Amino acid sequence: MADKNTEKPVKKAQSVDLSTLDTVTASEEGEWMDVLHPVTDVPIGARIKLAGCDSERYLKFQRKAQDVRLKKARKRGALGNITAEALEKEGLEQLVGCTITWEGFVDKGEEYAFSPKAAEELYTKHPWLSQQAREFIEDRSNFLRV
């Protein structure tokens, strides 16, 4: 078969097994992110298990934030007085909600045990770590099992 415009043979598309591109399952189960030093990008020995952007955890927080914004917008019009601080808080809540567990963190010689409260404190005190985790969550390639 030839393309009428170019008279070149048209290549038949190869089929792909969509199950090999399932990011939802791995996003739900979570994947380990090796924490990198904020300057050298060398792994520091700690890691965080994070749910991905296709997980129900992630989407739950996204929907909640959107519902709040829409409610405010209906009440006050336009953006409903949304502030940068409120958006930052929403992002932190979502990040904490996507944090499943961690290992290898020590603070002043004591193991830094995982809890949602500890995750909020960790991400607030260490914005570089928060950024790493957000980027990991948003990168679907981290949740493809190849």
Report pLDDT digits (tens) over 105-145.
998 899 999 999 999 999 999 999 999 999 999 999 999 87
3-state SS, residue 57: helix
Helix, strand, coil: what percent of the chain each, to 5?
50, 15, 35
Distance spanning both ends of the chain, measured CA to CA: 34
Q: Where are the domains of the chain?
A: 21-33+47-140
Q: Of the candidates 61, 62, 56, 60, which has an alpha carbon nearest to the alpha carbon of residue 29?
A: 56
Radius of gyration of the chain (CA): 21
Residue 46: pLDDT band by 50, 70, 90 thresholds? very high
In contact, 133 and 95? CB cutoff 8 Å: yes
Tell me which H or E stretch contains 43. strand 43-50
Q: Which two tokens stand for residue 102?
A: 């961690």
Higher pLDDT, 90 or 120: 120
pLDDT score at 6: 64
Measure the CA–CA gap between 50 and 31, rounded to whole angstroms. Answer: 6
Residues in contact with 97: Cβ distance below 8 Å, sequence separation at least 6, in sequence order: 51, 57, 58, 60, 61, 116
Per-residue pLDDT for 95 more than 80? yes
pLDDT tens digits, one per residue of 67-77: 887 777 777 66
Task: Please state whether the predicted TM-score (pTM) of the whole model is above 0.85.
Answer: no
